[in-house]
Structure 1
Amino acid sequence: MPKINAATVAEHRAQQRAALIRAAVDILVAQGATAVTPAAVGARAGLARSSFYQYFPSSAALLASIVEEAFTAADAAIAEALADVHEPAARFDAFIRTELHLAAQGAHRPAKALLQADLPPECLARVHELHHRHNAPLQAAITALTGETDASALTAQLVGGTVQAAMTAIEHGADPTQVTDRALALLHHGLNTPARQPHP
């Protein structure tokens, strides 16, 4: 049996799989989806190419796993932030603060790269599906705040554009707290909602 660096074989396999996904994310962000090949990912993770196929049948399967894991982590963070928040304006703020906090941690890098990548059609469709589901709490808060029905989707897109610009600023080194406060100030003004004090 190959030497393992974990308490159990299952833990070892989980570690190896996680290492392959981390390596693939690094390659994806730096070079794009086409560079995510079994050989490149295995080499970056310090594993033989043959080891890659013990975990993923293809590069497309690996990209699909990255899609799922990227959104699962972000969805969990949003769910936790909104768990005890019920008033629409507070949910709006909590969503955006959490999104920009995740951006400061680099958590959105894989999803952003995937949205820009030349993915297989089924993989790209899944990215858009998960992205829509992830943003559902934000759109619901906007609908509750503005009373819009038909226009709420457009308003959510415009809010999303501001959030994306804020993420880009943070990724380029701007202070996350300053960017978050400024973005929320602009959005409150645009939506005509009262500004709220940040959570301690």
Structure 2
Amino acid sequence: MPKINAATVAEHRAQQRAALIQAATDVLVEQGAAAVTPAAVGARAGLARSSFYQYFPSSAALLAAIVEESFTAADAATTRALVDVDEPAARIDVFVRTELALAARGMHRPAKALMQADLPRECLDRVHELHRHHYAPLQEAIALLGADADELTGRLVGGIVQAAMTAVEHGADPDSVADRALALVRHGLTPPTAERSDEPGAAVAHE
């Protein structure tokens, strides 16, 4: 059993539980949801298998805990980054850059593994619910810009962000990827305008 320094029994149990969740998350990312078993997780955390059941009644319960934990830190980081940003276009920029910074730290890998896993239906539904909640600030900013078909536009922008995150997770520079992704997003969210006066024939059209 790993040495844990805690002032109270409650703190000790909280640390043990956190150790199991972290061990399970590592197993999930490396080997998939099927490998998240009491024996594997207990061994990874340095705890006896019997200790596992003091905190979680089953592997499914542990996966449910990972579902919640996997979004908590990302949500908190996004909230902090956006707290003083009001203008919709600026909120989109900050959201995307924050997502890619988190991706560079590997913080999205558990959520991605969960979304690709063969989870119990209630767990999978919860993953998608939390994913929608996490992306709500981006979707709201897009809607405030008045983009046409904002629900579809939001999904398309989300696809760009997901592709950018994958690139970062494979080693690409987060700032460079963010610059390119945001250039595409800004272009896509720019509403069509009337023919510009510097284009051929424009002057005739306005006479």
**Unaligned stretches of 5+ residues in structure 1:** 194-200
CA distance in structure 2 between the partners assigned to 1:72 and 1:154 by the alignment:
26
Displacement of 1:4:
5.3
1:104 is aligned to 2:72: no
Q: Is the 8 A contact 2:97 2:175 kept in 1?
A: no
Greater displacement, 54-63 / 8-17:
8-17
Matches within 5 A, 1:40-189: 40-148=40-148, 151-189=149-187
Report the 3-state secondary structure (helix = DSSP H, G, I; strand = E; otherwise coil) of the residue aligned with 1:146: coil
CA distance in structure 1 between the partners assigned to 2:67 and 2:12 by the alignment:
23
Give the direction of change, closer, same or farther, for the CA distance of 1:99–1:4 in structure 2 (3 Å limit): closer
Matched residues, number: 189
TM-score (norm 1): 0.91
Aligned to 1:10: 10
Give the direction of change, closer, same or farther, for the CA distance of 1:147–1:159 in structure 2 (3 Å limit): closer
CA distance in structure 2 between the partners assigned to 1:60 and 1:124 by the alignment:
11
CA distance in structure 1 between the partners assigned to 2:83 and 2:169 by the alignment:
27
Q: Is the 8 A contact 2:4 2:15 kept in 1?
A: no
Displacement of 1:53:
0.6
Aligned to 2:19: 19
CA distance in structure 2 between the partners assigned to 1:28 and 1:88 by the alignment:
36
CA distance in structure 2 between the partners assigned to 1:99 and 1:5 by the alignment:
34
Cα distance per residue 1:64-86 (max 9 Å; x no partner)? 11111111211111111111111
CA distance in structure 2 between the partners assigned to 1:36 and 1:153 by the alignment:
35
TM-score (norm 2): 0.88
**Unaligned stretches of 5+ residues in structure 2:** 192-207
Counterpart code for 2:39: A
Q: Is the 8 A contact 2:147 2:189 kept in 1?
A: no
Displacement of 1:178:
0.8
CA distance in structure 2 between the partners assigned to 1:4 and 1:71 by the alignment:
26
Q: Which has the larger radius of gyration?
A: 2
CA distance in structure 2 between the partners assigned to 1:4 and 1:83 by the alignment:
35
Cα distance per residue 1:121-164 (max 9 Å; x no partner)? 0000001111111111111101111343xx21111111111111
Counterpart code for 2:112: K
CA distance in structure 2 between the partners assigned to 1:4 and 1:64 by the alignment:
25
CA distance in structure 1 between the partners assigned to 2:186 and 2:134 by the alignment:
21
Displacement of 1:40:
0.5
CA distance in structure 2 between the partners assigned to 1:4 and 1:171 by the alignment:
32
Aligned to 1:198: none
CA RMSD for the aligned pairs? Answer: 1.3
